[in-house]
Amino acid sequence: MKSSRRFFLEAGLALPALFDVSPTFAGTVQTSEAATAKDSSFDPWVEIHRENLCHNVQEISRRTASRPILAVIKNNGYGMGVANVAQILESQQEIFGFAVVKLHEAISLRDAGIRKPILLLGPFDERNLEDSVARRIIPMIYTPLGPTLDKIAAKTQKSVPLHICIDTGIGRVGVPYQDAPPLIRDLAGRKSVQIQGTMMTFTEDPDFDKEQLRRFHEICASLEKEGIALGKKHAASSFSLFEHPEAFLDMVRPGMAIYGIYSENEFRHMAIMELRTAISLKARIVYVKKLRKGDSAGYNRAYLAKEDVWVATLPVGHADGWPRNAALAHDKGAKVRINGDLFPVIASVSASHCIVEVGREERVRIGDTAILFRIRRRLARNLRRAERARRDDRRTRTRIGARCVEHCGTCTSQRGRRALSRARRNAGAAVAVSAP
């Protein structure tokens, strides 16, 4: 049942490499002509579809009766680039703020000019905490840090805003629910602390989730009776948007739904929300040829033509992270979309190339754009098919690589803009651009 979620999260960890960037900070500009000279108009690229991201946010808002949305853009924005996503979404009135796991991601958001609240879900030490507070990054707290918070507040002459995480049963982080009341009382009693939110995370076990929510409500109600203000209460992830409307509380905390991903395949058919693909990986055909009956393709002659057939070569291979065994039998392997039609990946995926079977007719040409995946049904299916034959080689999915990122026709890096400019100049409309 968890396949859709598992494959998206694994791909999300893979996708940062698609952008060929590390987390960057304001003022960092690539000026080296030598770096851009290596770009080719045939390099694969990623497109971020701004209008689809915004549509998904609106769908989530409709579903949750206009509750504020804390957009989870962790893991480098699930591969889209944390700043890229935040800059697109910040102007959306439905977005209350953003949540990330890594401190460097939170800092990069501030350095990119993001002004809305940023919640740091991940760990930090005392020095990190002081730096975070100075940058208006809100920590998620679940340990007795009262004295440290007092010290920071004394330095800044301001109370420290924070969210408290209660572990109601998932067992990862968060103060265990039995121990939550005394910790929260201690924090609430300090002038150095401003509790802006209280949160929990579901296990996504249907029966146990009910018990988790009961525990959370019981703790919150008891503390609020004592006059303790808990800020915005939030528990609902993308999964909960479909399964737990009773858990929408004061704010919702979706991640993958913003990117157009149904956390379970069954949710796609429930007509609760219509989510749209927000990212795609594309490449241009570098070569087209006709194989005669008996000709082979790929290492070890992995593919043998049973009849005359046209094939096309794409400049994406396992060095880029495209799974080695994306090339399987026709009914099991990955498929790519070219000119609106699907074609199977055949032969073998080499370091830098893969081959697709076009058929008896020459239906594609050099320069035509191939969509290797749109993150939605196709990505999960392509990765799932490859996984069945590749249980011992998970690393390839964590290294998908491409040269540039584009959203609404605008690349986010100088290098990417130049590469796309050359691509358009050389190939006309071969490079697809999402509509503004």
Which of 269, 289, 309 is the endpoint of a domain? 269
Q: Specify the CATH number for the domain of residue 63.
A: 3.20.20.10
Are 172 and 66 within one domain?
Answer: yes
Are 106 and 150 within one domain?
Answer: yes
Evaluate whether residue 59 is within a structural domain.
yes
The residue type of 293 is K
Are 258 and 213 within one domain?
Answer: yes
**Contact predicate 14/397, CB 8 Å:** yes
Are 228 and 287 within one domain?
Answer: no
**Residue 256 pLDDT:** 92
Query: How many separate domains does the chain show?
Result: 2
Q: Specify the CATH number for the domain of residue 335.
A: 2.40.37.10
Are 202 and 244 within one domain?
Answer: yes
Evaluate whether residue 7 is within a structural domain.
no
User: Phi-psi bin for 52: left (phi > 0), alpha (psi -120 to 50), beta?
Assistant: alpha
Are 198 and 312 within one domain?
Answer: no
For 355, other C-beta atoms within 10 Å of its C-beta total 25
**Contact predicate 235/228, CB 8 Å:** no
Stated pTM of the model: 0.75
Evaluate whether residue 14 is within a structural domain.
no
Evaluate whether residue 21 is within a structural domain.
no
Are 245 and 336 within one domain?
Answer: no
**Residue 356 pLDDT:** 96
**Residue 4 pLDDT:** 54
Are 255 and 182 within one domain?
Answer: yes
Evaluate whether residue 25 is within a structural domain.
no
Which of 209, 240, 269 is the endpoint of a domain? 269
Residues 6 or more apart whose Cβ sits within 8 Å of residue 61: 67, 69, 94
**If DSSP states are collapsed to H, E and C, what string results for 67-122?**
CCEEEECHHHHHCCCHHHHHHHHCCCCCEEEEEECCHHHHHHHHHCCCCCCEEECC
**Residue 75 pLDDT:** 85
**Residue 78 pLDDT:** 77
**Residue 205 pLDDT:** 94
Evaluate whether residue 189 is within a structural domain.
yes
Evaluate whether residue 27 is within a structural domain.
no
Question: Residue 166 pairs with which residues in a beta bridge?
Answer: 175
Question: Residue 161 pairs with which residues in a beta bridge?
Answer: 194
Are 82 and 183 within one domain?
Answer: yes
Are 254 and 290 within one domain?
Answer: no
- Along the chain (436 residues), what's the average pLDDT of each consecutive run of 10 residues? 49 44 32 48 86 97 98 85 93 97 96 97 94 97 97 96 98 97 98 98 95 98 98 97 97 95 90 90 94 95 95 90 74 87 93 95 96 59 45 32 38 39 34 34
Are 251 and 366 within one domain?
Answer: no
Enclosing domain of residue 70: 50-269
**Contact predicate 302/348, CB 8 Å:** yes
Which of 235, 269, 303 is the endpoint of a domain? 269
Are 210 and 96 within one domain?
Answer: yes
Evaluate whether residue 26 is within a structural domain.
no
